[in-house]
Amino acid sequence: MGRHYTRSYYAERIERISRLIPDCAIGADVMVGFPGEGEEEFSNCLSLLTDLPVTYLHVFSFSLRSGTPAARLKDHQTNKTKKERAHRLIQLSQEKRLAFHQRFLGRSLEVLVEGRRDPASNLCVGLSDNYIKTLLPGEEGMENELLPVFVERAREDLVFAEREE
């Protein structure tokens, strides 16, 4: 793909960020199905991402654009192959995000309340500084408040928390 860095360079940077900021969320954009990506290349990518302390992946498939350098490359992947590989990476992303959220069970976070999830419920939705979507009890008018919360349950997509007093 013409990247000007190596696997080890990339891995070292991600690991260093994780060491220096232990509770940060690290996301990665990952393209599957680039021309010439065989099973070995995909397996190497999957292995690297499995081993790295990334929190979530934004997975997308290579899309052919006429007139681009990639359009002239050989060994384009089938849509079926791209879909299967994307599915495997999305599963990995879900596992990693759940594990990340579970690290915060029984811990405190500060959450910026963004609004009500459902006007009929008493649940507000917010986001922590390390990108954890949080549901917490609250009333109308709490938008834009920064609140300390205690994480009680974790799912892949969000955590449930109670306001700390």
How deeply is 21 buried, as exposed, middle or buried, from its count of CB atoms within 10 A (0-12, 13-18, 19+)? exposed
Average pLDDT, the chain: 92
What integer is the mean pLDDT of 111-119? 83
Q: By C-alpha distance, which of 131, 67, 145, 142 is closest to 96? A: 131
Query: For residue 59, what are the contacts with CB-CB under 8 A and spacing of at least 6?
Result: 30, 32, 86, 89, 90, 93
Ranges of each domain in the chain: 7-102, 108-163
Spatial contact of 44 and 52, defined as CB atoms under 8 Å apart: no
Question: 63 vs 42, 74, 83, 89, CA distance in Å?
Answer: 17, 14, 12, 17
Record the pTM.
0.89
**Considering the domain 108-163 in this protein, what is its CATH number?**
2.40.50.140
Instruction: With cut-offs at 50, 70 and 90, classify the pLDDT of residue 30.
Output: very high
Distance of CA 76 to the CA centre of its chain: 27
pLDDT at site 1: 61
pLDDT at site 139: 81
Instruction: With cut-offs at 50, 70 and 90, classify the pLDDT of residue 48.
Output: very high
How deeply is 9 buried, as exposed, middle or buried, from its count of CB atoms within 10 A (0-12, 13-18, 19+)? exposed
> Residue 121 above 90 pLDDT?
no
pLDDT at site 11: 97
pLDDT at site 24: 97
55-92 per-position pLDDT tens digit:
999 999 988 888 878 777 788 888 999 999 999 999 99
Instruction: With cut-offs at 50, 70 and 90, classify the pLDDT of residue 15.
Output: very high
User: Comparing 39-48, 64-73, 121-130, which segment has the lowest mean pLDDT?
Assistant: 64-73
**Considering the domain 7-102 in this protein, what is its CATH number?**
3.30.750.200
